[in-house]
A and B are shown apart, each in its own frame.
Chain A
Amino acid sequence: MNPRGIGTNVLEVQDLAVTYRPDVRAVRGVSFSVGRGQVLGVVGESGSGKTAVALAVLGLLPDRTEVTGSVRLRGRELLGLSDGEMSRIRGKDLAMVFQDPLSSLTPVHAVGDQIAEAIRIHSGATRGAARARAVELLDLVGIPDAARRARAHPHEFSGGMRQRVMIAMAVANDPLAIVADEPTTALDVTLQAQVLDVLRTAGEAAGAAILMITHDLGMVAGFADRVLVMYAGRAVESGQVEDIYRRPRMPYTIGLLRSLPRLDDAGGRPVPIDGAPPQLNALPPGCPFAPRCPIAVGACWDDEPEMLPVGRPGHAAACLNTPATRDPDAVFPLTPTELLPPIGEDDAARARTSREAVLDVKDLHRFHVEQRNSFGRGKGLLRAVDGVSFDIRAGETLGLVGESGCGKTTVLMEILAMARPRNGGRIEILGEDSAGLDGAGRKALRRNVQVVFQDPFSSLDPRMRVAAILAEPLRTHAFPSEHIPDRVQELLKLVGLEPSHANRHPYGLSGGQRQRVAIARALALEPSLVLLDEPVAALDVSVQAGVIDLLEELRARLGLAYLFVAHDLAVVRRVADRIAVMHRGRIVEIGDVEHVYEDPAHPYTCALLDAVPIPDPVLERKRGRVRLPDVPPDAPRLETGCLFRQRCPRYLALSEASRALCDREDPVSRSIDGEPDRMVACHYALGVST
């Protein structure tokens, strides 16, 4: 039955249902099976019940959670086993890799010991033998200098390395099945592919079945053999990965795929799915997706559809209106916002440099005094921002991208401080030098510069109603109070919310709606520059596209300029006019989005673009990738020459003589190919011959 013809079903789940107390029906009858050496991707958004499935399989759900159905591992029923019996299976036959490697390892034990523990629990090996095996495993998952690092503690590892440790732990006892719950979500895009490689290799070495749970359709495309899509606690579509991506038949799957921003420009513009997933404690009858479904018919509201075979063998979808989904492109039509011009017509015609600069950052520095240990010794200087220069012209969006820790948020904070940069540099906002501002000037300027943060769950005061949240900036800046209610309604309408939302508290809104409130708050004072710090990173894919559309529409309508800080290069491509790529506190490449994405000049930009997965199993498997090595936090820091050369694929390809230049000289940013707005900081930006 399975495509590789290896083995039989290792993990079989039948009619699994999970009910959290008191009545949240997180999973409502999910069935699947995974064969030896197979990978099943379980895809769903937050609240779809995918993590509850993982925890139910491992028996790690909280006490007093009601679980029914059947979970069989090699034919043995796991549901109903006691904790003692389960503990003999967990870690041996059934292993798990969790989402957040930063918190999943015990901080007080050495990593080698933590892996050795997993071995000793099940095999009764001696301490020495288990430690030796732990070193082997660390070596297997690609930790350099494994024998020494086995004695290190988790805080001495980078995020990617910790996730490798988690994988080493999972495969320590050659498990039959590995459950991986969002194993790459917390990692930088450059590390995702590497960690997946490690998981694949380690899984193959152990011959394990892998259950890959994720929200990321792009990631799973190149990794899974089969995919199961979950919505509101049910499986709504399952099939071979090619069928799901190329011939999806359930409108929700189609919507998910359509809402993904893509680097490769296939499939056109992302389209959001309107509405929000239903509350799991009060499900109405009928298909739970019907309220958001553009092709729902009358019968959809009566009964919840069963999973029925559709299309090719092994492909099933829970949809009544499958005839309408034969052409997936017709299900979610484009919205009229498409027709809006990107910038005002005059602006588009004029050259960039002739437009007014709303933000001009010159040679900005920000250092942190770093205590390398808490006993106050060995203080170092961390150059969080190390000479960053860029400008943003009126009506334009600059995307600022880079891995976590590259300094992009620090740049944002320095701008928001509106004071003389502490470690040097000059920030000009709307033509005013931030160094010369007094308190009143700063307040006046803040009207024109607003910010939207990443997490709408923590950036809105939970005790204030939406109306109060929106009125606060107006009151602070002495907006005539009799006009405030009207303005609040105007703002709600502007960001696509209902007038009734004004009386709600943030917890009564969905994630996408909250972020809309955050945007409305930022726009209340009609700023000319909005700083966006990962504004869609915390949102589900299906609502991301809606918020991005809104941001674009507002920019066009209000003539805003955005500084868009993000790690997702596909999102930046959609939104930004220009992009600046940061690495270790510097901008290594800056230029027009089209030029940089089509023809990246800096090896770091190339690697970042290369690492973004494409949500298409066929294309994704064909790609050859450049892997960027991960630099552990305790590695000696380069202080001279090009700071990227430790990880640089181009450096590795250079001859000894050409490398000398990188070792010796710090590359300065220079423009290439006669494009005045395109700067690259690489000695060999145009190839090795120069």
Chain B
Amino acid sequence: MAGFLLRRLANYAVLVVLAASLAYVLAACALNPRANLMDRSPRPSAAVVDAELTRLNLNDRTPLPRRYLTWADGVLHGDFGHTWEGESVNGEMWRRAWVSLRLLLGGAVLGGVFGVLLGAYAAVRRDRFPDRAATYGAYLLLSVPVFVLAVLLQYAAERVNAMTGTQLFAWVGESTPGAGDGTFGGLDALADRARHLLLPTLTIAFGQAALYARYQRGLMLDVLGADFVRTARAKGLTRRAALLKHGLRTALIPMTTYFSYTFGMLLLGSMFTEKIFGWHGMGEWLVDSISRGDVNVVAATACFAAVTVLLAGVFSDVLYGILDPRVRTRTR
């Protein structure tokens, strides 16, 4: 198994290098940081702009291969260069990656678990009210854009806050400044962070749950009439126990791949949620830096995305091996 994973890892690594390089070349060709610099007031002289661009390895008068090599050399040494403002990309990237992770982990896991259960339940109650309700609900959530959903949730949260007279939900940023200064110190700060997490987590969980529910429903339908579920019932398991222990357990296996990859993509794709709730994560960074023409940041986020997909792939391989004995090494 270890050997297999190493080989897979090597394949993935090649893909990451390709993806990151393409992203850099594309960003370097398409974005125009010079224009941004020229627009500053007071308008800097051409020589100053040139010097500044060269320092950041953004100068479009340097041949692209040379810029690429400079960048690649830096990346190989663990240095993603500097942002447009001249700060180190590395530090900012790590900070923002953690922000994104904090924001998404809860929502993705919650959405995954809830979606799987809902999908399985809908399959069992096929064509009856619970199934119809789940289907309509899922389609509704999938067809509503995230920002509409988020705004609706904010509106609902506001009503709840007003009705209960508390600040149960908070939805701007990660924490309220000064929350940790109260009598309970750190505990207060933690509770404050949790309150800030509630709404964005729900937003993400809803969207994810709708997707998972659809997939899981289809997978579950395949095993509902499976002979081994009937065998389990013939052994004396109730219908529900047979469906959970034998049916869902088997129908869950293909979901692992889906879950890993979706989470890997989500890390970068949650720009709407981040923007709306004022979290300064990876998605927001990517959008902002594209509009600023910040080539190094765009390349770094692309690199980050490629690596997360790689990790998701490895993770799903491992998970698959754990869940499905048929792919484990056979004893011979």
Contact = CB atoms under 8 A, between A and B. Distances in A.
Q: Does A pair with B?
A: yes
Interface of A: 58, 60, 83-84, 87-92, 95-96, 98, 100, 103-110, 114, 117-118, 121-122, 152-153, 155-156, 166, 169-170, 372-378, 634
A74 B3 CA distance: 58
A59 to B, nearest CB: 9
19 contacts: A87-B237, A87-B238, A91-B236, A96-B231, A98-B227, A98-B230, A104-B227, A105-B231, A106-B232, A107-B250, A108-B250, A114-B235, A152-B331, A156-B331, A166-B231, A373-B330, A374-B327, A375-B4, A377-B4
B30 interface: no
A114 B249 CA distance: 14
B332 A98 contact: no
Please give me the 5 A-B residue pairs with the lowest Cβ-Cβ distance, nearest first.
Answer: A91-B236, A375-B4, A91-B235, A118-B235, A103-B227
B235 A108 contact: no
Nearest to A155: B326
Nearest to A122: B236
Contacts of A122: 236
Contacts of B327: 373-375
Query: Which of B228, B230, B235 has the most C-beta atoms of chain A within 10 angstroms of its own C-beta?
Result: B235
Contacts of A118: 235-236
Interface SS of B by simple majority: helix
Contact of A634 (B235, B328, B332): B332
A60 B237 CA distance: 12
B323 interface: yes
Interface in B237-281: 237-239, 241, 246, 249-250, 253
Interface in B296-332: 323-332
Interface string B66-106: 00000000000000000000000000000000000000000
B235 A106 contact: no
The listed residue with most A CB atoms (<10 A of its CB), out of B231, B323, B326, B329, is: B231
Nearest to B8: A375
B121 to A, nearest CB: 15
Residue of B3, B226, B230 contacting most chain A CB atoms (<10 Å): B230
Given A108-B326, A110-B325, A170-B234, 16 more contacts: A60-B230, A87-B236, A87-B238, A90-B236, A95-B234, A98-B227, A104-B228, A106-B249, A117-B232, A122-B236, A169-B235, A373-B328, A373-B329, A374-B327, A634-B330, A634-B332
B249 A108 contact: yes
Interface residues of B, number: 32
A108 B228 CA distance: 11
A155 to B, nearest CB: 5
A374 to B, nearest CB: 5
Contact of A84 (B7, B230, B238, B324): B238
B1 interface: yes
Contact of B250 (A90, A106, A121, A372): A106
B34 interface: no
B162 to A, nearest CB: 46
Interface of B: 1, 3-4, 7, 226-228, 230-239, 241, 246, 249-250, 253, 323-332
B48 to A, nearest CB: 58
Contacts of B230: 60, 98, 104
Contacts of B328: 373
A237 B249 CA distance: 44
Given A104-B231, A375-B1, A378-B332, A92 B236 contact: yes
For B250, B327, B330, which residue has the most chain A Cβ atoms within 10 angstroms?
B330
Contacts of A373: 327-330
A621 B230 CA distance: 33
A105 B231 CA distance: 7
A287 B325 CA distance: 53
Given A153-B325, A378-B332, A634-B330, A105 B228 contact: yes
Nearest to A87: B238
Contacts of A107: 228, 250, 324-326
A208 B231 CA distance: 19
B233 A60 contact: yes
Given A103-B227, A634-B330, A108 B325 contact: yes
B236 A103 contact: no
Contacts of A91: 234-237
A162 to B, nearest CB: 11
A105 B227 CA distance: 7
B238 A169 contact: no
Nearest to B247: A106
Given A108-B249, A153-B326, A378-B332, A83 B231 contact: no
Contact of A90 (B4, B235, B253, B332): B235
A103 B226 contact: yes
A98 B231 contact: yes
Contact of A156 (B3, B232, B330): B330
- Indicate the member of A84, A91, A375, A634 with the most B CB atoms within 10 Å: A375
B228 A376 contact: no
Q: Which of A106, A107, A110, A152 has the most CB of B within 10 A?
A: A106
A96 B234 contact: yes
B235 A83 contact: no
Contacts of A378: 332
Contacts of B235: 90-91, 114, 117-118, 121, 169
Contacts of A156: 330-331
A378 B3 CA distance: 12
